[in-house]
Structure 1
Amino acid sequence: MATRNRRRRFKKSSIKTFGFFLIFSAIVWVLVQFSKTYTQVIEVPVNYLNVPLDKSISEERPDHVDLQLQDNGFSIYYYKIFNPKLDIDLSEATESDKNLIYSIENHITVIEQQLKVTLEDSRIIQDEIVIPFQFKKEKMLKIISNVEVSYAVGYSADEPLQLVPDSVKVSGPEEVIAKLSSIPTLKKKLENVNSDLDGSVQLDTTGYGELSFYENSIRYTQEVEKFTEGKAEIPVEVINVPDNLNLAYFPKSVVVYYQVNLEEFEKVGASDFSIVCDYKSVKEGDDYMIAQIKTKPKFVNNIRLNERRIQFVIKR
């Protein structure tokens, strides 16, 4: 019985020893093989940066360069697994017959730094990268503000929000640009404003990836001032009444409420306003007219009337 147990222990020990040396030999073989120098061509994807704003590069542009790599197996395995990309700065390319030419030889140092190789034993097979392009069309688009301003109580502005600049130059495919006349800003809310505005807002270029914008953000400005509310009673004038019609209407006057810059409050008087009703605008069956503000000072805003419906009767 003891002899049989010794045989089993011997067999288990022998198998473990054999397995260890087998694995060890395999590791040594792999290390030896990977330490050898190999030559292999690897496709390195390219990414184009700084495309000139007046040009659109063709979809048929090269999407990779061929790197003939002469290095040990570890480096080659690294390239196959991690597949590094090469950034091509087109602002450093030359232009020739509707092609942008990027010289490999002139940018060896940049390429070596990006790919982490030395291009002495290894090399990029292409001497240059040729990128076809088309000239873009250019156009000025009006900028539409999406900046919403809510003023603090007692504050307002005489002039609307100013955009600087109020238009932007864009370039892109002619069929896209031809359909555009304006571009909006992103939405922005400014609340409880009680001082002058001076800020920036981005253009909303969502869905316009084919276009190049010479400006991506703009400034907005506005002078905000202290305002007060005033009111004045203004007589109502009825126009376009037929000569043979005896018209009676009421009320004969309405109260106009308005906001005005505190410094200009004393400049506003009832005579600066006029309220009219146009009899021609009355619909058949109606017994009222709509009062309209005909004239007002330019520097007042937020005008409202206490009564817009002017009742009337026709006397026989």
Structure 2
Amino acid sequence: MPVRRRPRFKKESAKTFGFFLIFAAVVWVLVQFSKTYTQLIEIPVNYINAPLDKSISEERPDHVDLQLQDNGFSIYYFKIFNPKLDIDLSQARETNNKLVYTLQNHLSEIEEQLRIDFEKSLIVQEEIVVPFQFKKEKMIKVVPQIEVSYAVGFSAENPVELRPDSVKVSGPEKIIDSIETVKTQAIKLNKVNQNLNGSVKIDTSGLGALSFYENSVKYFQKVEKFTEGSAEIPVEVINVPENLNLAYFPKSVIVYYQVNLKQFESISAADFRVVCNYKDVKKGDDYMIAQIVEKPDFINNVRLNERRIQFVIKR
């Protein structure tokens, strides 16, 4: 008796069946998503342009409710991408320590941000109420972090000047009271051979709780042609006991300095005084340290060719 074989399911039939199954599923999804639904969606809010003299409370609304009547594609767009709504507090009115932002007065802005049509949608809330506390204000001194390296033959008599040298800051009282100065961002200027005139930002890193009324300051410095001068100055020794016969060497040292070219001729050795204080000598030492105790105010980079002054005590 011949054996009957079971018919095999052809691969072509399986592919056809799978194609129509997927096609039917896609069509079903498209049909369902193209239908109109009404859904309540929470839209997160982001507060911008808060008044500098006010600190908004942490207990502020974090969303608005949007009643959306649209197809499934639009509804799932909001659920998947979760767009935020920017609330501009500079356009809110102030009432009893609260900032009140009336949503109905800004429907066109909300439509543009969220890409919705208010003919099909509705913001449930009429307004957003944000509690606030007044910030403390204070003027804080700005300290420059500007490193200047001058070209050969140039220098400056005065340090870099900032304008303004203080800025108004507002913030929580506890933080404001703990701060006396704020620095600029660090910049380095090389081979400077002309007057400085620029702006630099204030370094606000780590000070996010504070509001700065100015974010940058101007810096200035008069840069002039300088030359190097020198003068031989006798060394004075002070506070030597009367019964002590002290001999020391060298008796004089060379003072080197930089000075504005216009003032070079006005400097003489009489403008300097170099002193060693015998009281500062430590036991066992055979030298004293020379120090410049008098010099013209308008010179800089002052140095001695020799600071150690050797001495012996004669018997």
Same fold (TM over 0.5): yes
Give the superposition deviation at 1:57. 1.4
Give the counterpart letter for 2:168 in structure 1.
K
Give the superposition deviation at 1:35. 2.4
Which stretch of structure 1 is more off in the superposition, 181-190 or 37-46? 181-190
Q: Give the aligned partner of residue 277 of structure 2.
A: 278
Q: State the alpha-carbon separation in 1 of the partners of residues 301 and 309 from structure 2.
A: 21
In structure 2, relative to structure 1, the CA distance for the partners of 1:227 and 1:22 (3 Å cut) is same
Q: State the alpha-carbon separation in 1 of the partners of residues 253 and 17 from structure 2.
A: 110
Give the superposition deviation at 1:16. 5.7
In structure 2, relative to structure 1, the CA distance for the partners of 1:31 and 1:238 (3 Å cut) is same
In structure 2, relative to structure 1, the CA distance for the partners of 1:118 and 1:286 (3 Å cut) is same
CA offsets 1:22-74 (integer angstroms, 9 cap, x no match): 44444443333222221100111111111111111122211111100011222
Give the superposition deviation at 1:224. 1.2
Q: Give the aligned partner of residue 123 of structure 2.
A: 124
Give the counterpart letter for 1:225 in structure 2.
E
Q: State the alpha-carbon separation in 2 of the partners of residues 160 and 33 from structure 1.
A: 74
Q: Give the aligned partner of residue 221 of structure 1.
A: 220
Q: Give the aligned partner of residue 62 of structure 2.
A: 63
Q: State the alpha-carbon separation in 2 of the partners of residues 12 and 244 from structure 1.
A: 122
Q: Give the aligned partner of residue 293 of structure 2.
A: 294
Q: Is residue 87 of structure 2 the alignment partner of residue 88 of structure 1?
A: yes
Q: State the alpha-carbon separation in 2 of the partners of residues 247 and 21 from structure 1.
A: 115
Q: Give the aligned partner of residue 144 of structure 1.
A: 143
In structure 2, relative to structure 1, the CA distance for the partners of 1:252 and 1:81 (3 Å cut) is same
CA offsets 1:210-234 (integer angstroms, 9 cap, x no match): 1111222222111111111111111
Backbone CA RMSD of aligned residues: 2.2
CA offsets 1:81-132 (integer angstroms, 9 cap, x no match): 2221101111111111221111101111111111111223311111111112
In structure 2, relative to structure 1, the CA distance for the partners of 1:121 and 1:271 (3 Å cut) is same
Give the superposition deviation at 1:18. 5.4
In structure 2, relative to structure 1, the CA distance for the partners of 1:272 and 1:8 (3 Å cut) is same
Q: Give the aligned partner of residue 37 of structure 1.
A: 36
In structure 2, relative to structure 1, the CA distance for the partners of 1:76 and 1:246 (3 Å cut) is same
Q: Give the aligned partner of residue 200 of structure 1.
A: 199
In structure 2, relative to structure 1, the CA distance for the partners of 1:247 and 1:23 (3 Å cut) is closer
Normalised to the residue count of structure 1, the TM-score between the two structures is: 0.90
**Mapping for residues 129-208 of structure 1, pairs under 5 Å:** 129-208=128-207
Q: Give the aligned partner of residue 253 of structure 1.
A: 252
Q: Give the aligned partner of residue 210 of structure 1.
A: 209
Q: State the alpha-carbon separation in 2 of the partners of residues 17 and 253 from structure 1.
A: 109
Give the superposition deviation at 1:8. 7.2
Give the counterpart letter for 2:307 in structure 1.
R
Q: Give the aligned partner of residue 229 of structure 2.
A: 230
Q: Secondary structure at the match of 2:140?
A: strand
CA offsets 1:260-293 (integer angstroms, 9 cap, x no match): 1112111111111111222222223323222111
CA offsets 1:131-153 (integer angstroms, 9 cap, x no match): 12122222222222221111111
Q: Secondary structure at the match of 1:62?
A: coil
Give the counterpart letter for 1:84 in structure 2.
P
Give the superposition deviation at 1:21. 4.9
Give the superposition deviation at 1:303. 0.7
Q: State the alpha-carbon separation in 2 of the partners of residues 90 and 115 from structure 1.
A: 18
Q: State the alpha-carbon separation in 1 of the partners of residues 248 and 269 from structure 2.
A: 21
Give the superposition deviation at 1:185. 1.8
Q: Secondary structure at the match of 2:264?
A: helix
Q: Is residue 118 of structure 2 the alignment partner of residue 98 of structure 1?
A: no
Which stretch of structure 1 is more off in the superposition, 276-285 or 51-60? 276-285
Q: Give the aligned partner of residue 74 of structure 1.
A: 73
Give the counterpart letter for 1:243 in structure 2.
E
Give the counterpart letter for 2:146 in structure 1.
V
Q: Structure 2: which 5+ residue stretches go unaligned?
A: none
Q: State the alpha-carbon separation in 2 of the partners of residues 205 and 263 from structure 1.
A: 41
Q: Secondary structure at the match of 1:285?
A: coil
Give the counterpart letter for 2:65 in structure 1.
D
Give the counterpart letter for 1:85 in structure 2.
K
